[in-house]
Amino acid sequence: MSFLLSILAAAVINVIPAPAEVKPGDGEFQLRFFTCIKAESPEAAEVARTVAPKLRKASGRILPVRRHRGRIELRLDPACGIPDEGYRLSVTTDGVCALASGRAGLFYALQTLLQMTDGKRIPCADISDAPRFAWRGFHIDPVRHFLSPDAIRKQIDILSEYKINTMHWHLTDDQGWRIEIKKHPRLTEVGAWRTEFDGSVHGGFYTQEEVRSLVDYAARRCVTIVPEIEMPGHAFAAVCSYPELSCRGEQFRTLYTWGSPHDVFCVGSEKVYEFLDDVISEVAGLFPGEYIHIGGDECHKDVWEQCPICQERIRELGLEADAEFTAGEKLQSYAVHRMEEILARHGKKLIGWDEILQGGLSPGAAVMSWRGEEGGKKAALSGHYVVMTPGSGGMYFDHYQGDPKIEPVTIGGRSTLEKVYSYDPVPDVLRENGKDGFVKGVQCNNWAEYMYSESQREYMLFPRAFALAEIAWTRPERKDFDSFLTRCDLACKRLDALGVNYHIPLPEQPDGSCNSLAFSDSCTVELGTTRPLRIVFTTDGSEPSADSPEYSEPLTFTDDAVLKAASVLPWGRLSPVRTIRLRKMSPMPAMRPEDVFGLRARRTEGRFISAGDIPAGAVWTPVELSALGEAGKLEPYDNKLPDSTRFYAAEAEGCFRVPETGTFRFSSDCDRVWIDGQLLIDNGGAVKRSSHNDAELVLEAGAHNYKVLFIYNVIGGWISLRSRCDVLFRQPGSESWTSVAGDSARLID
């Protein structure tokens, strides 16, 4: 019963993350115009000055900070016995007292107070609180898409309110180098800029002065910034700047596509370690934290096999493949050990992705487990500290939050709010073996390949960051998802006041969302959301509002219609509106047997973004294909440098058969798709990583014609050669898709 009362009390004060213990009191403390904040020590006063502006904004009160008097008292007592970062908060009708053993605890007490107040009143309660984990992290990737210092401050400011205390700053990768290194200026002169496929230039970097300012800003909000300097892979921006650091020594252009090229640091060369020592000597002086992240993931080792310098190093070290590791993996382990020695000379510890376990790991190194939990388990069982951040546990916030058919394009995966909230960073095997103490904490990763704007980053981060905060701070027995949803709604309302974008679940169709439906007699549309929300809709073409009819059961249509639907938050804010067009039609007739033909195709050369870029007088050359998919593979994909001058567009057409008369849904990543001469799908100019424009037709049983336009280009970093040049179809309700190319040959036999 006490547990339930505590959960209910935590919900009443609407705090994220849920505190360890809450004892509700009677009444409330009134914030008056003359209310002062008492902070006797300089540290307490500094905390007060950091948080007071938000309290002033919320309350409209002046809330001056005084040393000797005030009804909101902040007390620091290192001997009080409260755990590090913990606090005790007492709110009575007479005043507020926050007690902590350190600065961070006092800061978090005020964050709790800030969430409790409605601006004029604070409910009476006694709260005792402390975190579950020391590392409560979020990751920022400004390499793929640059993020301004002000945008980073904004994220730090918001997330620190929810007791997130670590920012993992991904500063270098294949697509850009983002930190000024004075001894090696070409890193930012060359490596910080890339020319995109369409000719636009993207880039930017942080000066050392900007870095110091951000580190200080974060520290005042109890956030430690951990920089990441990638090695030995994901180093293409560095080797573009200084080709002598690579095995081939060739001059490359900074990568403007996603993925990792094969050219990495030449780890057999002493020049690389001298360079890394130079870099770390400057980086270490900018970041006072304990760790520097060295990456260590996804390193292509094939170039080392052809490199005489690396092979000589392998022979010198006596590295030989065994049942567990290849010689290349052992060479990477050697490079990681060398990097650890460099860090140690500059007073830092090493942390890296779980691939650094390959070939063995030094005792002091820490591991981030991203490829599931296995790396974290192995590291912790071996006595290494680990930070759990697996995509399989929902910690990759670049994964979809809902149906990929209607959500903005991203890298893939699916991490709903509930999935994030359900994750426990401590695997059972570590508890069973008494190694759970080696789980240092948990972190979300926000890889920005498909986060093209600050607004989109916010959309992917919130409200999942609130769930992260609770699993990082609150012990499992204190968690309750229903209570969290109530508190999450209120946290989102606070985001509204800050002008911050966030995800609101869209109305989805359970068998896959589609905005273009077709039927011959009637069509029933069923809708739902990834978490419980009201859905409102209209069918007269008008935009829905919070007062529109509420969806309560599947909707049936017998004529053409435009269904507009949105989910609604408790205070009336709507999600983006989904527009679903329904068309009543007669079955499109099947082809006559004598008109059925085999696969035929043609191509034209040029750098095209969409069909409209292909000139009317373009020269088309016939090409022979044995399969439709070959239309998307007419040029090789060069993973080392995807900068081919032989870009092209291809058209291909053929015939396919449907087994019975009925409605069929079509899906394709091609630029355009025609069925029986009707333009059905137009993905023009979009990032075609996955299909977002599925559409339906009613077809008569028998053979039908398809035609596709495929354009080899790079849009938003995505190389269309990686897309599937195909058209898939299925009947609504069916779980499996069929390719139109599946029986083209049989149709004409």
Are residues 495 and 462 in contact, defined by beta-carbon separation less than 8 angstroms?
A: yes
Residue 603: alpha-carbon gap to chain centroid: 37
Length of the chain: 749
Q: Read off the amino acid at residue 277.
A: D
Q: Which helix (H) or strand (E) holds 135?
A: strand 135-140
Number of Cβ atoms within 10 Å of the Cβ of 484: 25
Angstrom distance (rounded) from CA 728 to CA 571: 41
Spell out the residues 6+ positions from residue 631 whose beta carbon is closer than 8 angstroms to its own: 601, 623, 625, 650, 651, 652, 708, 710, 725
Out of 73, 85, 173, 653, the active site residue is: 173
Tell me the C-alpha to C-alpha distance, in Å, between residue 611 and each of 43, 600, 601.
62, 19, 16
CA distance linking residue 184 with residue 746, whole number of Å: 62
Active-site residue, 210 included:
no
Structure tokens at 614: 């292909």
Give exposure, 72-88, as e/b (b: 16+ Cβ within 10 Å).
bbbbbeeeeebeebbbb
For residues 362 and 507, what is the distance between their CA atoms, to the nearest angstrom?
50
Query: In whole angstroms, what separates CA 653 from the centre of its chain?
Result: 37
Element (H, E) at 421: helix 417-422
In Å, how far from its chain's centre is CA 521? Answer: 42
**Measuring CA to CA, which residue among 317, 330, 241 is closest to residue 279?**
241
Give the integer Cα–Cα distance in Å for 171 and 165: 19
Catalytic residue among 234, 384, 399, 704: 234
Describe the crossing of helices 103-116 and 2-13 by its angle, rounded to 10 degrees: 80
Instruction: List the structure tokens of 132.
Output: 């579950």
Q: 559 an active-site residue? A: no
Residue 170 designated active-site: no
Cα 612 off chain centre by:
32
Per-residue DSSP letters for 637-699? --SS----S--EEEEEEEEEEESSSEEEEEEE-SSEEEETTEEEEE-TTS-TTS----EEEEE
Calpha distance 110→161 (Å, rounded): 9
Please give the distance of CA 150 from its chain centroid, rounded to a whole number: 20
Measured distance CA(458)–CA(418) in Å, rounded? 18
298, 424, 489, 643: the active-site residue: 298
Residues serving a catalytic function are 173, 234, 298
